[in-house]
Amino acid sequence: MSIPELEELANVCRKHIVKMIHKAGAGHPGGSLSAIDIIAGLYGTRLRFNVDDPDWDDRDRFVMSKGHASPAVYSILREMGFLNDEDLATFRALGSVCQGHVDMKWTNGVDFSAGSLGMGLSFGLGCALAARMDSSKRETWVMVGDGEVQEGQIWEALMAADFHEVSGLKLIVDRNRIQNDDFVSVQMEVGDVASKIGAFGWNIKEINGHDMEEIVEALEWASMSSGPSAIIAHTVKGKGVSFMEDNPSFHGKAPNDEELALALEELS
């Protein structure tokens, strides 16, 4: 896909995101909107999957560790053909394939059951180690939030990935600077994440997580790198909807009718 096509894909996904959260009356718009450009770039340019065979053994994995940003994942799975509009409309409802947090047991195309932060990188490491044992080139892409790196398990996994020299493991940090209660700087500043992860032996690249050219280039860089590689994507929480941008109150709050209309107008 071309850069304009990827940008358009991300925009379509943004509309799905605000609509499904509005319909559900609950969900996490901020972190979904910050992550969606990168996710669109990943699905549009790198990830190998098969809609007709979601469990294809040799598919690339996308491990969404910040599982509360599930609307971002469901929106891209809708655009890739794994889900339909009816599925999105049931987000968070009883029996829906679109569970509150992404869950591999419920949704075709989802590779990890998230919801509890800090676990996805370890899971991705397991996927990458298995791929290497199978002599497969399949890649595992893990996305974590910046608040999430406060979890100690992330650093256990970072250390282990370096020790095991796992090339098939790629990490994306959605550095949107806001977590549940407030700004990361207020809750527990994680500081220079790039240097810290770099000090654990990872290849590092910092990008603007909303610049599609930078995103595509960084994804290719990570894919080609040997050894574990991390992209620190500087993003804006709630990106694309003015009143949600950089606003901690839209970490986990649904837009009301009026806000939805405004959001869709801005995204049109």
The least distance separating another protein from the CB of residue 67, rounded to whole angstroms, comes to 10
DSSP 178: B
Query: Which residues lie closer than 8 Å to 29 by C-beta, 6 or more apart?
Result: 17, 18, 21, 71, 238, 241, 244, 250, 253, 254, 255
- Residue 258 within binding range of another protein, rule CB under 8 A: no
Rule CB under 8 A: say whether 100 interacts with another protein. Answer: no
Amino acid in position 89: A
Pairwise CA distance, residues 56 & 205, whole Å: 30
- In this chain, which stretch among 17-25, 99-107, 170-178, 196-204 interacts with another protein, using CB under 8 A? 99-107
The three-state DSSP-derived secondary structure of 42-69 is HHHHCCCCCCCCCCCCCCCEEEECCHHH
* Residue in the block written with tokens 């599982």: 67
- Is position 241 an interface residue for another protein (rule: CB under 8 A)? no
Out of 4, 94, 152, 268, the residue judged to bind another protein by CB under 8 A = 152
Which listed range, 83-91, 133-141, 170-178, 180-188, lies at the site for another protein (CB under 8 A)? 133-141
Shortest spacing between CB 250 and another protein, in angstroms: 26
> Contacts with another protein: how many residues (CB under 8 A)?
34
Q: How far apart are CA 26 and CA 213, in angstroms?
A: 32
Binding residue (CB under 8 A) for another protein from 35, 83, 125, 241:
125
Using CB under 8 A as the binding rule, whether residue 226 contacts another protein is answered as no
Q: DSSP secondary structure string, 140-172?
A: EEEEEETGGGGSHHHHHHHHHHHHTT-TTEEEE
- Residue from 53, 85, 163, 261 binding another protein (CB under 8 A): 163
Residue 196 in contact with another protein, rule: CB under 8 A: no
**Positions that interact with another protein (CB under 8 A):** 57, 63, 103-105, 111-113, 115-116, 118-120, 122-131, 133-134, 140, 152-153, 156-157, 159-160, 163-164
